[in-house]
Structure 1
Amino acid sequence: MKTKSTTLLLTAITGSLILLLGSGCGKKTVMPPETTMDGGADAGTPISYPAAEGGGYSEESLPIEGSLDDTSTATSVTAAEGMAEPTEEYKKLYGRSTRGLSPIYFNFDQATIRPDMVAKMESNSEYIRQIPNAYVVIEGNTDDRGTNEYNIALAERRAQNTKQYLVDLGTDPARVRTVSYGEEKPLFFGQDEISYSQNRRADFIIE
């Protein structure tokens, strides 16, 4: 009887030890699923990105094309939206004109071609002649002072005068059309003379 009790006690102790050893004391490590190019799990080779300082990843450490500070290129990449947009430097050089063509600028409330814009007009005329099958749209713009109706008419005069100057330089008038935006499509939004002067503009767009 004593032997049977001892055997039962030993069996109970042994069972408890097995349960304790089987359950373990440490935390189980869970491995994250592999991430692929299209965001699926376990669908291919994972992408390796540079780690951010302190470990892990951050939006800033992910590779993006272009640079917000790169004014040598036409566009910069907005990290939040991934959208390409013109830099300030590009807008000052080209306005909305096709690259290779230069915008021309006008004095306040004037539609005549300024003497300092003649060289740009001649350069644009030469560029257009080198693309014989291209058509050109001249877009007239104003700053936002004055009424909308007045500015539409002023921008139209600017576009028409610019077209006539091109024609006088030898451009076929059938290849040139005009459009007036008035104050509706500003590139610069400051309420200062620099912004105003940049918006008093005619752009040259190759169609």
Structure 2
Amino acid sequence: MHIATRLMIASVFTGTVLLLAGCSSKPITPYSSGANTNMPEGKAIDYSTRQGSVVEEIGPSEEALDSMGKDGQAVGSFATTGDQNSEEYKKTYGRSSSQMQPIYFDFDQSTVRGDQIPQLEHNAEYLKANPSATVIVEGNSDFRGTNEYNLALGERRALSAKNYLIELGVEEYRVRTVSYGEERPLFTGDSDFDWSQNRRDDFVLE
């Protein structure tokens, strides 16, 4: 065999090995069990029965939410009194405007709990007493699960609250929803308490 032919065969073999090495994929971490599970909050997704995609009624961007209002305060910011980083403050207001109250959900649930109805009634009364006010309902979940699943769960939670406000007499056009899923945890610990506080709807006045 000629030297040129041998060199060509060696070059082709080396190129093939390098190409295959470059195409190797990263290993996929399987779902685990236990306290640090990365299963969706509550259950796995059955992709064979899912239809459509995660769709949410998009509110303003985070940049828009952070923009300054006419009074010089950030729109939807915490009240200016109290320690905004304290656990008590966050439990009372979540990320809601100070005139509003957050509501909380059971694990993997989007139905409004009976003990959360007074908070929704309070929010509805404020909106009815201030007919020019509009609100964004922000749905949240704890971190356990896929981002896609938790976005859908946050969306269902926000829509449940919106529908309840409408039933209480708030005009539909005054209520918008957005889902942040697991992306904006207020409590960053790894306990049942932290998770329960992150399964939440916030009510942000525009």
Question: Which TM-score bucket, shorter chain as reference?
Answer: 0.5 to 0.7
* Match in the other structure for 2:181: 182
Listed as ranges, the matches of 1:67-78 within 5 Å are 73-75=81-83
- TM-score between the two structures when normalised by the length of structure 1: 0.60
Q: Which runs of 5+ in 1 are unaligned?
A: 1-71, 76-84
Instruction: Give the number of aligned pairs.
Output: 127
* Match in the other structure for 1:150: 149
Q: Specify the SS of the correspondent of 2:109.
A: coil
- What is the CA RMSD across the aligned residues, in angstroms? 1.3
Inter-partner Cα distance in structure 1 for 2:170 and 2:135: 10
Shift of 1:86: 2.9
Q: Specify the SS of the correspondent of 1:149.
A: helix
* Match in the other structure for 2:88: 89
* Match in the other structure for 2:162: 163
Runs (4 or more) in structure 1 with deviation over 4 Å come to: none
* Match in the other structure for 1:130: 129
Shift of 1:152: 0.2
Letter of the structure 1 residue corresponding to residue 137 of structure 2:
I
- 1:30-84 Cα deviation digits (max 9, x unpaired): xxxxxxxxxxxxxxxxxxxxxxxxxxxxxxxxxxxxxxxxxx9433xxxxxxxxx
| Structure label with greater radius of gyration | 1
Inter-partner Cα distance in structure 2 for 1:115 and 1:171: 19
Inter-partner Cα distance in structure 2 for 1:105 and 1:151: 15
Q: Which runs of 5+ in 2 are unaligned?
A: 1-79
Letter of the structure 2 residue corresponding to residue 173 of structure 1:
E
Inter-partner Cα distance in structure 1 for 2:82 and 2:161: 25
Shift of 1:158: 0.3
* Match in the other structure for 1:98: 97
Inter-partner Cα distance in structure 1 for 2:137 and 2:200: 10
